[in-house]
Amino acid sequence: MRLKTLLLGSGLLCSTLAWAQNGNDKVLKGKIDMKTLMQDQSTAWFYKGVNNYQPNDNMLNYLKANRSNYNLVVVMGTWDEASRKIVPELYNVMIKAGSPDEQVLMFGADQKLETDAPTDYKVKKVPTIIVFRDGKEAGRIVGEPKESVEGDLARIILNSSKKEQ
């Protein structure tokens, strides 16, 4: 009887500790701005990721030269590991490219990919970065970038520029 009580108590303690650790995975849903991600204790991963990423200077210079030609919509999950890696990298790139906060509209999605966004962006996976040029979708990065955040953004912008010519 004593062994059963000890095992039951240990099991409850372990499950409580596991639940408490997952309690830090705050799910932000709806419109999110960078200030929220920088200041919320549950998103310490954002600040760390922004400061640790070193973008490619050539791609960064291209984005800087073309920054007025595009806007971004980002759909991410604060609970998603890929979003926790890529969204800070994206913000590092946007900051270094001199792009204002208004160029990036970000929405948090829950595990069902519901965002409460005013528009249905047809997101099937997080993170999704949608590049708009003159109000029209020019391309998107879904999940992990093929090359890098700045490389994929530069390729999308370059390809959309070629289509205009």
Please state the separation of Cα 74 from the chain's center in Å.
6
pLDDT 10s digits, 85-129: 999 999 999 999 998 888 999 999 999 999 999 999 999 999 999
The pLDDT, as a whole number, for residue 165 is 60
Rounded Cα distance between 44 and 39, Å, is: 8
pLDDT 10s digits, 45-55: 998 999 999 99
Backbone angles phi, psi at 84, to 5 degrees: -65, -20
Q: Return the domain boundaries, the chain.
A: 25-164
Q: How far is CA 31 from CA 40, 44, 119, 136, 145, in A?
A: 15, 19, 12, 20, 23
pLDDT 10s digits, 6-61: 334 434 333 333 333 344 578 999 999 888 888 888 899 998 999 999 999 999 99
Helix pair 81-96, 44-52: axis angle to 10 deg: 50
Backbone angles phi, psi at 150, to 5 degrees: -70, -35
CATH (residue range 25-164): 3.40.30.10
Say which residue the tokens 């029209």 belong to. 136
The pLDDT, as a whole number, for residue 20 is 33
Rounded Cα distance between 42 and 65, Å, is: 35
Rounded Cα distance between 76 and 74, Å, is: 6
Closest CA to 153 of 50, 69, 47: 69
pLDDT surpassing 80 at residue 136? yes
DSSP for residue 111: T
The pLDDT, as a whole number, for residue 24 is 52
Q: How far is CA 37 from CA 7, 33, 106, 117, in A?
A: 41, 7, 11, 18
